[in-house]
Amino acid sequence: MRDKNNRHENMKEEGKSVKMFLDALLQQRIKTLKPNSADPGCSGTRENPVIISWKNVERCKDIVIDPIHNRLKCPICGKPSEELHWIGYTSPQKDWENLAGWMGALSICNDCHCQVEFICVMMNYETIG
C-alpha cells in the first residue's frame, strides 16, 4: 500500500512539474497561433471527436491548466474554448524513448465527451531519409 501511495505522490509531483513547464511553453506558442484556428490535424470533429487515445488522456487528467481563450469551440455543442476543460498532455515515456513524444494543451468538452483541440508545444521525432 505504501508503494501505491508513493507512486501516486510521485505522479502528482510530476504533474506539477509538467504543468509549470507546459505553462511557459504555451505562453510562447499561443502568441504564434491565429485566434479560433487549429494546427492542421490537431482538432476533433463531429465525426471523429478523438485526437489522443482516451487511455492516454486519462493518464494526464490531473494536469489541469487554465482555459485558453479564443480557440476552437466544441464541434458538437458549440461551447467556447473558455468553457472547455483544458489539460496538459504529455505522451507516455515509451513514446519519448521511441522518438514519438508529444506535449501540449488539450481541450475537452465534458458534455459531449469530445476532444476539441490539441496545441502541441513540444515533440520529438525521428527523421527519415
pLDDT of 40 reads 42
pLDDT of 41 reads 42
Q: What is the number of domains present in the chain?
A: 1
Distance CA 92, CA 58 (A): 12
Distance CA 54, CA 49 (A): 11
Mean pLDDT in runs of 10 for the chain (129 residues)? 51 61 68 53 60 88 90 92 94 88 91 90 73
The per-residue b/e assignment along 45-67, b for 16 or more CB within 10 angstroms, e otherwise, is: eeeebebbeeeebebbebbebee
Query: Does 68 map to a domain?
Result: yes
Query: Does 91 map to a domain?
Result: yes
**Structural domain containing residue 102:** 2-123
Owner of C-alpha cell 492516454: 56
